Structure 1
Amino acid sequence: MRLIIDENPNLIDPSELLRPEFDFVKKGLSKFRDYTIDENDKLKERVRQTYKAMHTKQTVEFVKNCHENWLKFDHAKMTVRQALEKLNNLVDESDPDTTLPNIVHAFQTAERARVDFPEHDWLHLTGLIHDLGKIMAFYGEEQWAVVGDTFVVGCLWSDNIVYRNESFEGNPDGKNPKYNTKYGIYEPNCGLDNLLLSWGHDEYMYQVLKHNNSSLPEHAMNIIRYHSFYPWHSAGDYEHLMKPQDDETKKWVLIFNRFDLYTKSSEIPNIQALWPYYQKLIDKYIPGSLEW
């Protein structure tokens, strides 16, 4: 796991953080999520190797084991703010668009949602916490089982998964007749909530919120659970497994995707100045110390 360490992890110097991100300030939308292969480009190669490990090792058995391990919620107790401040030390190794710590991206996403939907305070908070499940990386989980796009395990892998053509070689589920057909272990139109997705921060954070009795609305919970499920919400795959109610989920996830993806070229927000507003939302929807 690659970490950026600061002597005081609660404070961020925007002038320092902006320098590596300067090239993205006026980045065109078509240049986000560039997964072309260039072995001489360190960033691209880091991303590719993260996905290679993910696609080789994320099997049905592995995902079920992760559910058993992480959904005991016995790894830590901390507030949302404490968890967010941990993200000051995490750089997502699957992300080709930014080298900034995740806490910066959290506030960028939240503030964009706040501008576009000022009346939906739950959406602002959703932007702030959507990647919070990545704290698994601080408790022993490898980044390939924490970050990146998610996909369905237990059936044929979608053609629109990142690096699909070469990164699944060696995954034993590809040779298992129970798992390598169009429907695999699923029934037609069984619905999103009956699918087993590759393990990562989306499902973990969704389950953390449920376990700790968050009062966030269903739309917020679904955004958190499926925002990294790009082959579904952006490529249109897995429609044969969807139920009609999932269309509403997709609508909100696609709205949220504008805030999540395209704010990575934004200027650095004044995090300390924004804390009072977001602390009120945390106290409203996810108060106190949570079990992780």
Structure 2
Amino acid sequence: MKKVIVDRHLHRCVLRVDMVREAHVDILPITNLVDQLLQDEEIKVGQQSQGAFEAPEINAFGQNFRDYTNAETERQKGVEEFYRLQHINQTYDYVKQMREKFSKLDKMEMSIWECCELLNEVVDESDPDLDEPQIQHLLQSAEAIRKDYPDQDWLHLTALIHDLGKVLLLPKFEGLPQWAVVGDTFPLGCAFDSFNIHHKYFEENPDSKNPAYLTKNGVYEQGCGLENVVMSWGHDDYMYLVAKENGTTLPTAALFIVRYHSFYRKYSNIDIRYIRLELIHTHLMNDEDRENLKWLHVFNKYDLYSKSKVHVDVEEVKPYYMSLINKYFPEKLRW
């Protein structure tokens, strides 16, 4: 059996080439991307401070991170039920309707920090690794990145805001169901990829019966750019709209992270810490997407593996993050 094995500083990847071939994925683009990721890793290590964040092997529940195969616990059963509902209900037309509806930003006005505090009321049912209030996840990921990348203040703030779109779960934002807000995102308007978590439930999605959506490219042209691809609706796209339409001065890489940080693919034999969904959907990307991926890869590790039962002292770190909010956002935003 042919393998490509990579062991570099913080990340590990085991790519079983025969497994990928059986999934009808081209081998060469994947191995080329692994090489590119290694080059990016060299850049990242050079940017990091000493004492870099070490990604743990297991989550707070004693399980592997992003393990969707263990259905023995009630939480795992709930996660699978979440993905069943998401895969059935997220359609191309549904997303178009939701984007039109929520892009009006007419729900309320509030500051970024006020939104952070609202997330004390939110727990993400799709996440097998965390059952803490979302504000703790935001601060844990932001503080971990701040430690390793002290000079990239925009990245610290990006970590703080990346999940703020989950306020869509609250009554003030119409109380959308969890399947319409959280979970991994995926492209619509093209074939559902077999690497999606709990892929079998897509069989009940109406789009799986539409011939226009059943090819690799579907309704898109190769290299069209992810900004032209309709993704499943959720907190990623909503927070991207909020930040963009309220005139944030964060760099484009930050907006890319916010919009695509839930864009994952499950590989049974590939460490998700290193290989993401881009392996499959590079044909839809343009050059700007590929450039922004470098920072998305940086962000990925902290988003996934900083989740902990050890809480961040909110009042202690609040002044620092308030200074970043004032730097990159207006005082009040439309939501």
For the aligned pair, the TM-score class normalised by the smaller chain equals 0.7 to 0.9
- Which of the residues 113, 133, 145 maps onto 1:101? 133
Which of 155, 162, 167 does residue 190 from structure 2 map onto? 155
2:155 aligns to what? 123
Q: For structure 1, list consecutive stretches of 5 or more residues without a partner in the other structure.
A: 1-22
Distance in structure 2 (CA, Å) of the matches to 1:257 and 1:182: 26
User: Do structure 1's residue 265 and structure 2's residue 308 form an aligned pair?
Assistant: yes
Aligned residue-pair number: 266
Query: Aligned-pair distance for 1:110?
Result: 0.4
Contact 2:60/2:130, CA 8 A, preserved across alignment: no
Moved over 3 A (4+): 23-28
- TM-score w.r.t. length of structure 1: 0.87
Q: Could you list the per-position Cα deviations for residues 11-49 of structure 1 after superposition, in whole angstroms to 9, with x for gaps in the alignment?
A: xxxxxxxxxxxx845968xx10010152x5210011111
Equivalent residue letter for 2:333: L
| Deviation at residue 245 of structure 1 after TM alignment | 2.4
- The structural deviation recorded for 1:249 is 1.7
Q: 1: CA distance between counterparts of 2:333 and 2:117?
A: 15
Aligned to 1:218: 252
Give the secondary-structure state (helix, strand or coil) at the position aligned to 2:216.
coil
Q: Does 1:45 align with 2:74?
A: no
In structure 2, list runs of 5 or more residues that go unmatched. 1-57, 267-274
| Conserved? CA contact 2:61–2:129, under 8 Å | no
The alignment's TM-score, normalised by the length of structure 2, stands at: 0.76
- Which secondary structure does the structure 1 equivalent of 2:287 belong to? coil
* Aligned twin of 1:18: none
Question: Are the equivalent residues in 1 in contact too, given 2:132–2:309 (CA < 8 A)?
Answer: no
> Which structure 2 residues correspond to residues 140-289 of structure 1 after superposition, within 5 A?
140=174, 141-164=176-199, 166-231=200-265, 234-235=276-277, 236-265=279-308, 267-289=310-332
Contact 1:27–1:265 (CA under 8 A) maintained in structure 2: no
Tell me which amino acid in the other structure corresponds to 2:227: D
Distance 2:194 2:292 in 1: 22
Q: Note if contact 1:108-1:266 (Cα within 8 Å) is conserved in structure 2.
A: no
RMSD: 1.7
Shift of 1:191: 1.0
Q: Distance in 2 between matches of 1:244 and 1:123?
A: 21
1:95 aligned partner, one-letter code = D
Note the alpha carbon deviations across 1:40-85, whole angstroms, 9 max, x for none: 5210011111111111010010000001111010111111111111
TM superposition shift of 1:265:
3.0
Q: CA deviation at 1:266?
A: 6.2
Q: How many angstroms apart in 2 are the aligned matches of 1:205 and 1:101?
A: 18
Residues 211-237 of structure 1: CA distance to partner in whole angstroms, max 9, x if unpaired?
100111111111101111113971311
Matched, 1:73 2:108: no
1:96: Cα distance to partner?
0.2
Contact 1:25 1:267 in 2 (8 A): no
> What is the CA–CA distance in structure 2 between the aligned matches of 1:192 and 1:137, rounded to whole Å?
26
Equivalent of residue 87 in structure 2, options 36, 55, 76: 55
The answer on whether the counterparts of 1:58 and 1:171 sit within 8 Å (CA) in structure 2 is: yes
Partner of 1:35: 68
Q: Percent identity?
A: 46
Match in the other structure for 1:135: 167
Q: Tell me which amino acid in the other structure corresponds to 2:77.
A: E
Secondary structure of the corresponding residue to residue 213 of structure 2:
coil
Report the AA paired with residue 236 of structure 2: D
Task: Say yes or no: does 1:90 pair with 2:122.
Answer: yes
State which structure, 1 or 2, has the greater radius of gyration over its C-alpha atoms: 2
Asked whether the equivalents of residues 236 and 260 of structure 2 are also in contact (C-alpha less than 8 Å), the reply is yes
Query: C-alpha separation between the residues in 2 aligned to 1:198 and 1:25?
Result: 28
The one-letter code of the counterpart of 2:209 is K
**Amino acid of the residue matched to residue 258 of structure 1?**
K
Residue deviations 1:66-114, cap 9 Å, x none? 0111101011111111111110010001000010010000000100110
Match of 1:9 in 2: none
Matching residue's letter, 1:168 = F
3-state SS of paired residue (1:123): helix
